[in-house]
Amino acid sequence: MSPQPTVVLASTSHYRAALLRRLLDHFEQAAPGTDEAPWQGEQPAARAARLAEAKARDVAAQFPGAVVIGSDQVADLDGRILDKPGTVRAAHEQLAASSGRDVVFHTAVCVIDLHGDATTHVDETRVRFRELSDEDIQRYIERERPLDCAGSFKCEGLGIALFERIENEDPTALVGLPLIATSRLLRAAGVVLP
């Protein structure tokens, strides 16, 4: 039996790391340092896939001989990308725009195998926001401070209370790493999983 390859998560996100721990006891984490600037006219799902692979490739260059996982998530409101808000005002604007509407989250995962070959999967989650008052939004932002989250919410926290429903094939995708696809890609890359 060949030894388990080193696995590196190309992210410092504790949310993604917590998810990956459901599959693996041991892995490393590294910050990719990828330029995440949008490309003109790029579609949301394509942007998520491009950035997941770019992050994985950036870290793979630092860890030759490892299996590397990159991931990215892009929130899409009728074709308009909702980036990480960065400020309370931007978060309030994003949540107000999402009120009573569907937002699609494109969560991409890319695994680079021991030969340097990349395979990418994009998972789609459709979230229906309930009608949100300004007071609802203000209370939520004050409590959660979701300024570093695409779409201005954390579904693993109080953000779940903002929704009417979630439609997807993999419930872990909305948190930031679709584990069903990730486990499939890791097995294909030679990582032993149950």
Domains of the chain, residue spans: 7-188
Is the distance from CB of 11 to CB of 68 less than 8 angstroms? no
Which one of 35, 58, 72, 113 is the catalytic residue? Answer: 72
Helix 134-144 / helix 88-98 crossing angle, nearest 10 deg: 130
Helices (H) and strands (E) in the chain, counts: 5, 7
CATH no. of 7-188? 3.90.950.10
Closest alpha carbon to 78 in 140, 151, 159:
151
Q: Is 35 labeled as catalytic in the residue annotation?
A: no
Q: What is the β-pairing status of strands 80-82 and 118-129?
A: unpaired
pTM over 0.95, yes/no: no
pLDDT of residue 1: 54
Give pLDDT tens digits along the chain (194 positions).
Answer: 567 999 999 999 999 999 999 999 999 999 999 998 889 999 999 999 999 999 999 999 999 999 999 999 999 999 899 988 999 999 999 999 999 999 999 999 999 999 999 999 999 999 999 999 999 999 999 999 999 888 898 887 888 899 999 999 999 999 999 999 999 999 999 999 98
Is the distance from CB of 110 to CB of 52 less than 8 angstroms? yes
pLDDT of residue 102: 97
Percent composition of the chain: helix, strand, coil (DSSP 3-state, to 5): 35, 25, 45
Q: How far apart are CA 29 and CA 32, in angstroms?
A: 9
Is the distance from CB of 27 to CB of 7 less than 8 angstroms? yes
